[in-house]
Structure 1
Amino acid sequence: MGKKKFHKIFISMLSFILIFSFLQPSQASANEGLKINADAAILVEAETGKVLYAKNPDKVLGVASMTKMMTEYLVLEAIKEKKIKWDQTYEVSEYVYKVSQDRNLSNVPLKIGEKYTVRELFEAMTIYSANGATIALAEKVAGSEVEFVKLMNKKAKELGLKGYKFVNSSGLNNKDLKGMHPSNSGPEDENVMSARSTAKLAYELIQTFPELLEITSTPKKIFREGTDDQIKMDNWNWMLPSLVFAYEGMDGLKTGTTDFAGFCFTGTAKKKGMRLISVVMNATDENGKGTYNSRFIETKKLLDFGFNQFELKEIFPKNYEVKGHKTVSVVKGKEKEVKVHSKEPFKMVVKSTDHEKYSPKFQPNTELLNDKKQIVAPIKKGETVGYLAVQAKERESLGYLTKEEANKARVEVVTTQSVEKANWFILALRGIGGFFGDVWSSIVSTVKSWF
């Protein structure tokens, strides 16, 4: 095996080990002193994907109406891709009509023959968790809920979710869908996800469509105000600042409740310059009883823990030069080396008193640098020669939401200027100089060996 090939294999193995360790947060240290009454829970910083707390994060459980986050994603994606428009109308199907008339479920009643805009339906789904409106949007995007469910599972795979199954667009029990549930699932089937995948879905949703938070933060609204159909919609997220469990910075995201799933909530709040995403699944009180209140009480514990214990800190500034890696050697260039620095500042979520515990680490770009860590001219300004990451001065586990977020836990190190390729005459002179330099070194070594 050649040295270059061995070097690449070694780097690949090292990267795998680092990523694996990033994905395995130390439960003992991360969760110390925090008891969350739920079957599963997770707390994630929303910019970097760093996991701050986890309890049974990969246990697959019922998600109820938290399912609607996937429906929101696909509707917003369809609007972005101009497949549908906000002001486009939908005419109610018999299926949607029957589901929407059930006031034991969360619904705005929709009428046969009446037309509703995509925006009206989306607001009803997002603010009031209206199930009939959700199915209506699924039909609008994909033609039928059966086809929409296929899109849901396909998108989940694309987003890298693990441990999930979508069988309908709303999160209701299939048995509550009036015998008209999607034909690609059974009458007793349920939507399920893990807490990690639920958080990952929320992370991708607000990263890709941050405008959604303008709707999810709406505490109340009148559906079809001024018409015979008007209905007051109170947001089920009681942690919005003006509601009963008001929490500073809370602006989303989705509650969920069924007999199967229990009381669930995916929340997100921003304060102190940091956004957090929390998930609790089948939340209970201290006596093990699930209630509407319990999911908000447990969420408050999670968010308080995150905001009180951690901060999003700029560990190294933009244009940072890593000691020992301030330049990179250049082969066949007019200059023999080029200066390099970080392209962006390196930010990281750390415990409020721990930001001094990290030291910089340079990771070479093996696709650009040879095994001697040299770059071959010509070189453009801004070429990525490596990455700036961190290593803890004291042993510490750095957990991230997924492998993709772990890979993002670094910033590019780039060249600060261009280096042109040297002409043949200069290269020839260097070759001659190198030859005689090697000869002279050999003579000196031989003479020294005589004495």
Structure 2
Amino acid sequence: MKKVFKTTLLFTILTIFMTAMMVPQQANANESLNILADAAILVDADTGKILYEKNADTPLGVASMTKMMTEYLLFEAIEEGRITWDQQYNVTDFTYQVSQDRALSNVPLRADGSYSIKELYEALAIYSANAATIGIAETIAGTEGEFVRLMNEKAVELGLEDTKFVNSTGLNNADLKGMHPEGTGETDENVMPARSVAKLAKVLMEDYPEVLETASIAKAVFRADTSDAIEMENWNFMLPGLVYEYEGMDGLKTGTTNFAGHSFTGTAKRGDTRLITVVMKAVDSEGVGSYKARFDATRALMDYGFGQFTKQEIVPAGYQFEDKQTLPVSKGKEDEVKIAVKEPITMMVRSSEKDAYVPELVLDESLLVDGNLEAAIEKDQVVGTVKLTTESGTDYGYLDGAAGGVEVITTESVERANWFALSLQAVGGFFSTMWTGAVDFVKGLF
């Protein structure tokens, strides 16, 4: 009997111990995610919700991840009809010299050659070809220096904070054969924080989703069936069929220089979920940068995102705030109006943390006069937005800093009162003020 009792007691203690060990690990999974990189970020591409970040606001070298901005401006120029895919580019002395340096990522261009923009783009997107990228920049803006100006203007327009471009490729300016873009120095470098890199990737895929059609090509041949044919293997080795393949991976852009280290902006889709990852200056456990290190870091982020998070409806459409179901109305036939959340808020969260989020009302103060909305008020009039706060755990917010921009609206209309009713309200207000003043005066006597 004693032996049975001891065995049962030991089993119970072990069960309690194992449970205690497992719970903290689950609760602190994000804190224990050891990403070996100077900076990293994991984002839900649909909503911009940040699921993990490390040093994401520090500007660092971006190397060829720069080319995502070049791609954005290329698609924009095509869309606006300023250039076409079949338009020919005549090689300049600058692009010829750069293209002959195979130590850089390049497809060699003939000095007297002519290449279509489509050919150059495919070399850029698949093989990260630098001279081809410069050729696109010169075609769009005349000179790479002018193109760099457009890049920096677009960065401001897209809200890419702490971003500076000095060339179209991401190469070290020192590698540009003394022909770096005008207005930049030989030691200047392209820099961005991981948050801005992720934001650029997100807007590129949103505005021009066709970018993934080319970015997802694992292998291709430049100038096939000609004497200039060159095999191009995508530097994104996580694509299907390549050495570090990852389920759902279909983009987006690698980057490697001595200054930037081994960096990568990745994106993968499984089911209805698309994730964006950025790792900058990735290293292995020995502190050495490598292609494998950046893909290992990316895999860890992707596994964490797909494995730990699911899309959950945090706030339903029509939700009414417990402490603010109505707003006071002045000069109306009614003295209040009902308000509610216009659309549901759905975001990636851990299932265990769904109920930790609390919606808060952020009113548009510019619409209020002494705390009131003034009639007439239309149904579905926007009066504010929703802010989500969390009671536990870590919340990294959104790429744009907002909770998806979900609006709070009026759910009914309130007509403006006629002149007679307004007069009565004014008289009532007058006597109310007098009465309050008289009461205060009498109280003051005592």
Tell me what 2:23 maps to. none
Q: What is the count of residue pairs matched by the alignment?
A: 415
Q: Is the 8 A contact 1:107 1:129 kept in 2?
A: yes
Deviations 1:88-113 (A, max 9, x none): 22221111122122223222222234
Counterpart-to-counterpart distance in 1, 2:155 and 2:313: 32
Does residue 430 of structure 2 align to residue 424 of structure 1? no
Q: Residues of 2 paired with 1:397 and 1:172: CA distance?
A: 37
Q: How does 1:9-408 map to 2 (within 5 A)?
A: 31-372=30-371, 374-392=372-390, 394-400=391-397, 405-408=400-403
Name the Cα RMSD after superposition. Answer: 2.9
Change (3 A) 1:30 1:157: farther
Answer whether contact 1:30 1:53 (CA < 8 A) is retained.
no
Work out the CA distance in 1 between the residues paired with 2:88 and 2:426: 74
2:428 and 2:182 map into 1 onto residues whose CA distance is 78
Q: Which SS does the other structure have where 1:359 is aligned?
A: strand
Checking the alignment, whether the CA contact within 8 Å between 2:386 and 2:406 is kept in structure 1 is: yes
User: Whose radius of gyration is greater, 1 or 2?
Assistant: 2
**Structure 2 residue identity aligned to 1:314:** E
Report if aligned partners of 2:252, 2:267 keep a CA contact under 8 Å in 1: yes
Post-superposition Cα deviations, 1:157-214, rounded to whole Å, max 9, x if no partner, equal 3333344432221112223223322232333433233323322322332233233222
Higher deviation after alignment, 128-137 or 161-170: 161-170
CA distance 1:54–1:388, change in 2 (3 Å):
closer
Give the C-alpha shift of residue 432 in structure 1: 5.3
1:15 matched residue in structure 2 = none
Q: Which amino acid aligns with 1:400?
A: G
Q: CA deviation at 1:443?
A: 11
Distance in 2 separating the partners of 1:32 and 1:251:
28
Tell me the distance in 2 between the aligned counterparts of 1:337 and 1:86: 58
Deviations 1:347-375 (A, max 9, x none): 23322311012232222221112333x21
2:96–2:111 contact (8 Å) kept in structure 1: yes
Superposition deviation, residue 254 in structure 1: 0.5
Cα contact 2:387–2:403 (8 A) shared by 1: no
Q: Residue 413 of structure 1 aligns to which amino acid in structure 2?
A: V
Percent pairwise identity: 55
Letter in 2 for 1:175: A
* Deviation of the 1:435 alpha carbon: 6.6
Instruction: Return the letter of the residue paired with 2:406.
Output: V
TM-score norm. by structure 1 comes to 0.83
Task: Report the alpha carbon displacement of residue 395 of structure 1 after superposing the two structures with TM.
Answer: 4.2
2:387–2:402 CA contact under 8 A, matched in 1: no
Shift of 1:396: 4.5
Q: Could you say if the C-alpha distance between residues 201 and 395 of structure 1 is closer, same or farther in structure 2, counting changes exceeding 3 Å?
A: same
Q: Which residue does the alignment assign to 2:10? A: none
- C-alpha deviation, 1:142, in angstroms: 1.0
Sort the Cα spacing of 1:440 and 1:288 in 2 relative to 1 into closer, same or farther, 3 A: closer
> Where in structure 2 are there 5+ consecutive unaligned residues?
1-26, 441-446
